[in-house]
Amino acid sequence: MKSPRTARPAPRNALYAQSGGVTAVINATAAGVIEACRRHQSRIANLYAGRDGIVGALTEDLIDTGRESAATIRALMHTPSGAFGSARYKLKDLERDLPKYQRLIDVFRAHDIGYFFYNGGNDSMDTALKLSQLGERTGYPVACIGIPKTVDNDLPVTDCCPGFGSVAKYVAVSTLEASLDVASMARTSTRVFILEVMGRHAGWIAAAGGLAARRAGDPPHLILFPEIAFDRERFLARVKEAVERRGFCVVVASEGTRDADGKFLSDMGTRDAFGHVQLGGVAATLARMVKEAHGYKYHWALADYLQRAARHVASKVDVEQAHAVGRAAVELALAGRNAVMPVIRRKSSKPYRWDVTSVAIEAVANKEKMVPRHYITADGFGITAAARRYLEPLIRGEAYPPYRDGIPDYATLRAARVRRRLKTEFKV
Amino acid sequence: MKSPRTARPAPRNALYAQSGGVTAVINATAAGVIEACRRHQSRIANLYAGRDGIVGALTEDLIDTGRESAATIRALMHTPSGAFGSARYKLKDLERDLPKYQRLIDVFRAHDIGYFFYNGGNDSMDTALKLSQLGERTGYPVACIGIPKTVDNDLPVTDCCPGFGSVAKYVAVSTLEASLDVASMARTSTRVFILEVMGRHAGWIAAAGGLAARRAGDPPHLILFPEIAFDRERFLARVKEAVERRGFCVVVASEGTRDADGKFLSDMGTRDAFGHVQLGGVAATLARMVKEAHGYKYHWALADYLQRAARHVASKVDVEQAHAVGRAAVELALAGRNAVMPVIRRKSSKPYRWDVTSVAIEAVANKEKMVPRHYITADGFGITAAARRYLEPLIRGEAYPPYRDGIPDYATLRAARVRRRLKTEFKV
């Protein structure tokens, strides 16, 4: 009689790649993937990581995660940004970019990659989906599992996206602290403070600024969402009202703030690899507007990468969810699933309870989840109680990194390279 | 025989005022002053605080700190910004602003203020000095004690200024985190990242960015100090070199970066109450320069108030020193000293040991301490080992605030008003 053990297929290798803008907790997802793979070495022999994400996969520049100690992998839990390197490198549809997809399959075949874990946002889910389709079509079996990651929180189905909770906490804490600063100086100095935050199309990050307020009237006094058409006169009137009533005005503005015609308030004039316009300068534009109309002294801040890299003030819930989706991705792969993505499911808001389930990638690829209208107050400048119920649990808990000599002791990988097997080169 | 007790003078009242730009730890100094006064109620009957600093003193808008609970005062230890309100309101020399100084003496007399604690930077020390001189001249005895506070770290004599260690830690941590972000994306995205930091004339805050590097070659690759004349060609050559050698370039730039003619790289075009030019836009200017010369994709951040209000990542050493100088100020006053300021004295760097001593205000008023040349590397773009030895101890230790619902639980004062005694009004 055959034992169930021998009936098992021979172990294959797996590839993990980080994609798109990095976050404070994407490495916690990497830790989840790596630790889960290590627990299943009879099924997954080696886990490789693409150096600089999909670019490493294309160029056959793979990192052997097996060369990293268990302690280093644990340290990824508290290390921000993409430890293996990420990429803004979008693969277009199968017809137009077939040679690239084919190249990926070639690299997979050369390294016996049976499982591909792609950790990114909407665009990356699309790539994972296409790769799984091409795998089926060309007879090379590879389980493509998407893993959600985006500070923008704009993936559908999942209750939230790992990476968002920490940037939300950063923005809420920073808004609170800057507001206290302005409040204490307003009598003789700055009257209006504007914090520009990320969130190209969806206003989730801007909404998080609203969590700085505990009571009605607390700052921020105005939030500008990409979902709400910007109206100069209404904005200026509300700034004036806040200054006259409270002595100062704090504004949290999404970089994607735009007018009724969809025109962005400001625009750096450059485009990234995905063809998205690279935004910036909304705060400066608003500040000039306020100065011209009312003459108030202003200050503004542009947190830029600081907000999404701020592991030092990460949300504990976010870290835990990031790790959980990494672990779940491996479990889905080992359960024989393909073209799926683990998602966070909220079971209750008070007390906050969640688990991880999964969804077909098709349901999330290239789709964006905006802030729903009922999360935004009727006047368009604040968040509702429903939004607070949704957002608050996501920034709960602190998960401080260890410090050495006054700065966080973030992990550094050996990042040992896997020996190349292909003779052909690929130019990115 | 008379007991020594009865020989003591009748208790008088004291006034505490916060001045200039606030910090993450100025309230820890307030806590030090208040707690020390409470321990000496036989000598100091009531401690008042000026609402919005010296403006409250001028308008007789005083807060009775005695109405705050011990728990609230303790909570000031972890609360950023000026809890009593601060002011950018400079008193000029005695001849030109005599009515204002006279008004202060009138308010002091009306409330039997025998001790004045003025918590600020160079300008405020000048005010405290003049007030003590006028007090002597007009026969109204008041002990004027300056208490150092400035994120700029530019006061002489004292080893460092409370407020600086925390902004230094914020800048070091943020530089480290943003650098990891850029490093992980540089292959296909941002190559150059610029963080603009405060420090109008002295480059101490910019220098702190250098603490993000643990090893040679680590980011930041370039630091721009106000003390070093900016040279466009040398800067651009070094950016190119870093990108070609390391794949990316991180720059920490002081808002006061200026060329050999003393011209600031950028200028918001407005002036504050002290007549200082309000700067901003250095990072944007540098980024445009890099883009034009090399075509690199860039990002930049302007932390603005976020950096000086960031109590969530304060330096424990800074919090302790801020509290200590507050306590010491009261002890100096009770020891009969006048026109003095407590200063931090470094006894050893490794291990770091310090105590509090004092200096005549005259030695610090209106003087600025720049970053010495030997703290800056020969090429003008980095910090030396000597600078590290000086800076590192100042960012040591974490002193997290308590959190509630995901955000810090900062103190709110009752801020009860002291009954007015003067019939005359003062218009600010």
CA-based torsion, B76, B81, B87, B92: positive or negative:
positive
CA distance A330 to chain B (A): 24
Residues 291-320 of B with CB under 8 A from A: 297, 299-306, 308-313, 315
pLDDT score of A276 = 53
From B189, B304, B308, residue closest to A88, measured CB to CB: B189
Mapped onto helix, strand or coil, the DSSP state of residue B25 is: coil
Residues 173-192 of A with CB under 8 A from B: 173-174, 176-178, 180-185, 187-190
pLDDT score of A1 = 44
What chain B residue is nearest to A389 in terms of C-alpha separation?
A: B405
From B55, B172, B212, residue closest to A188, measured CB to CB: B55
pLDDT score of B351 = 95
CA distance A86 to chain B (A): 5
pLDDT score of B7 = 63
Residues 41-80 of B with CB under 8 A from A: 52, 55, 79-80
Tens digits of residue pLDDT in A55-84: 999 999 999 999 999 999 999 999 999 999
Distance CA A179, CA A184 (A): 9
Kindly list the averaged pLDDT for each block of 10 residues, start to end, along chain B of length 428. Answer: 60 97 98 98 98 98 98 98 96 92 96 98 92 91 96 96 98 98 96 96 97 96 98 97 98 96 70 50 90 95 97 98 98 97 97 98 91 98 98 98 98 98 93
Tens digits of residue pLDDT in A356-373: 999 999 999 888 999 999
Tens digits of residue pLDDT in A164-209: 999 999 999 999 999 999 999 999 999 999 999 999 899 999 999 9
Task: Inform me whether the C-beta atom of residue B392 falls under 8 Å from chain A C-beta atoms.
Answer: yes
State ipTM: 0.95
pLDDT score of A266 = 72
Nearest C-alpha neighbor of A147 from the set A26, A62, A276: A26
CA-based torsion, A17, A21, A27, A29: positive or negative:
negative
CA distance A303 to chain B (A): 5
CB contact under 8 A, A305 and B310: no
CB contact under 8 A, A306 and B406: no
From A181, A304, A396, residue closest to B305, measured CB to CB: A181
Low-confidence ranges of chain A (pLDDT < 70): 1-8, 267-280
CB contact under 8 A, A301 and B299: no
